[in-house]
Amino acid sequence: MSPDTGNPAEPHASDLHARFSALREALSTEIIGQSRLVDRLLVALLADGHLLVEGAPGLAKTTAIRALAARLEADFARVQFTPDLLPADLTGTEIWRPQDGRFEFQAGPIFHPLLLADEINRAPAKVQSALLEAMGERQVTVGRQTYRLPQLFLVMATQNPIEQEGTFPLPEAQLDRFLMHVRIGYPEADAEIRILALARERALALLDADEAVPERLPLEAVFAARRAVLEVHLAPAVERYLVELVLASRDATPYDPALARRIAWGASPRGSIALERCARASAWLAGRDFVTPDDVRAIAPDVLRHRVLPSYEATAEGWDGDRLVAALLDQVPLP
Ligand SMILES: Nc1ncnc2c1ncn2[C@@H]1O[C@H](COP(=O)(O)OP(=O)(O)O)[C@@H](O)[C@H]1O
Ligand SMILES: [Mg+2]
């Protein structure tokens, strides 16, 4: 990343960074005007976490994870969450093999390194919990056997912002299994025009059956990049700022007693770890080997909005996690 340090390991590091920049570039040509979604997908990949994406249908959520899967040496599966989905549809089941006189495990879609859990709030709590547990523990238990999930395991769950009838809200206590909760909106006019052009191009390529097969990044490169991210420098003052933000989410009294009363529940240490990891990954993606306070600030809303719950009264006054995090960012002074 900093080519002038003369460290023999550096050319490798900068090459790694170049590969991720190229990956981001490639994804941005396919997912137009949703740079945040692309960026957060890469941050999740680098920080070894899962994404909850909230946005209306048709905003390129499926397209985004598919495009990532096409450029990584990693398989992809999509599970549509429905009210009749069973945990076993996700994890897999033991199947009786009469010819062998024993059970054999048939792995479910959760064993794919990249998993799209579409409309996660349309399945009942049992299925949601099976997914959230697997996300946290990186293993699933079926019958008496425990199976490890792949080393690369990234879940992108989607949720429609409009609470439809018959949906099951995700359990708040388990929401923090998601590294980030990203909200996406409709593209601007210019982007929408480019989307039309791209869709035409796609349709033509399909007719000509000449779709280019992109080069795939080996998983070793992903793991090497994760290592580089963990080695990004975090100055004590920036670390302190990050921790102060999380502590303020638990008790904002020293900053603003009224804000403190609006928060029923703040972020756990899992939240601090997530904020640190994501800030590091953002810094690394930006080509730096140190974290700035702005890296923390910029990623904080996506890392914290689902970990900070408004009190009952505050909810009635229109406060949500988003607004609370914005208020916390206003209150906690930068180092
Ligand atoms: N920002 C975008 N960039 C490129 N294509 C887009 C974009 N938004 C929507 N599309 C196109 O619209 C269609 C719907 O996208 P999709 O990924 O299936 O949406 P979602 O999964 O969010 O419901 C696809 O054909 C996709 O290529
Ligand atoms: Mg979709």
Q: Where are the domains of the chain?
A: 13-208, 232-331
**Measuring from atom 11 of ligand 1, which residue has the nearest CA?**
60
Note the pLDDT of residue 227.
97
Output the residue whose Cα is nearest ligand 1's atom 24. 60
Which atom, in ligand 1's list, is nearest to the CA of 33? 1
Yes or no: say if 170 and 133 are a contact pair by the CB < 8 Å rule.
Answer: no
Q: Which residues line ligand 1 (CB under 6 A)?
A: 31-34, 57-63, 187, 195, 198-199
Q: Which of 53, 59, 63, 195 to mutate to test the pocket of ligand 1 (most atoms within 8 A of CB)?
A: 63
Q: Report the pLDDT value the prediction gives residue 131, as an integer from 0 to 100.
A: 95
- Reduced DSSP (H G I as helix, E B as strand, rest coil) percent helix, strand, coil of the chain, to 5: 50, 15, 35
SS3 254: coil
- Sheet containing strand 154-159, strands side by side: 76-80, 114-118, 154-159, 51-54, 180-183
Q: Does domain 232-331 have CATH number 1.10.8.80?
A: yes
Look at residues 174, 189, 188, 161 and name the one whose alpha carbon lies nearest to residue 134: 174
CA 62 / ligand 2 centre spacing (Å): 4
Span 208-250, pLDDT tens digits? 877 678 889 999 999 999 999 999 999 999 999 999 999 999 9
- For residue 174, what pLDDT is reported? 84
Ligand 1 centroid–CA 129 distance in Å is 28
Segments of the chain scoring below 50 in pLDDT: 1-11
13-208: CATH superfamily = P-loop containing nucleotide triphosphate hydrolases (3.40.50.300)
User: Do 59 and 156 meet the contact criterion of CB atoms below 8 Å apart?
Assistant: no
Which residue is closest in CA terms to ligand 1's atom 13?
Answer: 58
E-only strand ranges, the chain:
51-54, 76-80, 92-97, 102-107, 114-118, 139-142, 145-148, 154-159, 180-183, 263-265, 309-310
Is the Cα dihedral 158, 164, 166, 168 positive or negative? positive
Distance CA 313, CA 295 (A): 32
CA 326 to centroid of ligand 2, rounded, Å: 29
What's the pLDDT score for residue 166? 72
The per-residue pLDDT for 3 is 44
Going from the C-alpha of 114 to that of each of 42, 240, 283, the distances in angstroms are 13, 34, 24
64 contacts 37 by C-beta, under 8 angstroms: yes
User: What pLDDT score does 4 carry?
Assistant: 44
38-65: buried (b, 16+ CB within 10 Å) or exposed (e) per residue? bbbbbbbbbbbbbbbbbbeeebbbebbb
Question: Is there a contact between 155 and 115 (Cβ–Cβ < 8 Å)?
Answer: yes
Minimum CA distance residue for ligand 1 atom 19: 58
Choose which residue among 28, 38, 59, 81 to substitute to test ligand 1 binding: the one with the highest number of ligand atoms within 8 A of its C-beta: 59
Residue 185 main-chain phi, psi, to 5 deg: -125, -175
> What pLDDT sits at residue 2?
43
Distance of alpha carbon 267 from alpha carbon 248, whole angstroms = 9
Q: How far apart are CA 175 and CA 51, in angstroms?
A: 11
Distance of CA 202 from the midpoint of ligand 1 (Å): 12
pLDDT of 320: 94
Which protein residue has the closest C-alpha to ligand 1 atom 26? 60
Q: How many CB atoms lie within 10 A of CB 312?
A: 8
Q: Whose CA is nearest to atom 6 of ligand 1?
A: 60
d(CA 272, CA 243): 7
pTM of the model: 0.93
Kindly report, residue by residue over 260-310, the tens digit of the pLDDT.
999 999 999 999 999 999 999 999 999 999 999 999 999 999 999 999 999
Q: Is 156 helix (H, G, I), strand (E, B) or coil?
A: strand
Q: Which residues contact 164 (CB under 8 A, 6 or more apart)?
A: 122
Question: Do the Cβ atoms of 109 and 79 come closer than 8 Å?
Answer: yes
